[in-house]
Amino acid sequence: MAISMYRASVPVFVQFLNNLSAILAKAAEYGEAKKIEPAVFTGGRLCADMFPLTRQVQIATDMAKGAAARLAGAEVPSFADTETTFEDLQARIKKTLDFIQSVKPEAIDGSEERDIVLKSGPRELHFKGEAYLTTFVLPNFFFHITTAYGILRHMGVDLGKKDYLGMK
């Protein structure tokens, strides 16, 4: 049996956004224990020309909510990118989870051939649903989740592969 578009998207987003939430909680606890200001973490980067942690979380959540909406043929919810604290980031993740979990499987299943058009600066990107999910959304989603993990690991937070994968 082939995997459905829903099963290839929403449950994956849910699992890894929950993992990201746990990673952020672990970072907040670490910072508190070590007396490190939270802004040091939320503004942290792997290198100067990369986005900080806050933007990594914003983009990962944008990928998840955008994919769920577009694949379902629905309006993409707009979130202001104003998060500066761990609490703000957790709220954004929760808001994203609430939205994507409200999208019914039958709204996404069968979207393999749906036309998806995105604005990227002055360009328009054109995809069919399956290619949009597999060659654009999932790679971007995992890139930004992984980068958020990498920033926090680089800053000394005791994280491992089990945290990334959500294995206890």
Q: For residue 24, what is the domain's CATH number?
A: 1.20.120.450
pLDDT at 4 over 90: yes
Q: Whole-prediction pTM value?
A: 0.96
Residue at 146: amino acid letter:
T
- The total number of structural domains in the chain stands at 1
> Residue 4 falls within a domain, yes or no?
no
- State residue 1's pLDDT score: 61
Q: Identify the domain containing residue 109 by its residue range.
A: 10-165
pLDDT at 168 over 80: no
At 14-43, the pLDDT tens digits run 999 999 999 999 999 999 999 999 999 999
Q: What is the mean pLDDT of residues 137-145?
A: 98
Q: How far is CA 22 from the centre of its chain?
A: 13
> Residue 121 falls within a domain, yes or no?
yes
> Residue 1 falls within a domain, yes or no?
no
At 76-88, the pLDDT tens digits run 999 999 999 999 9
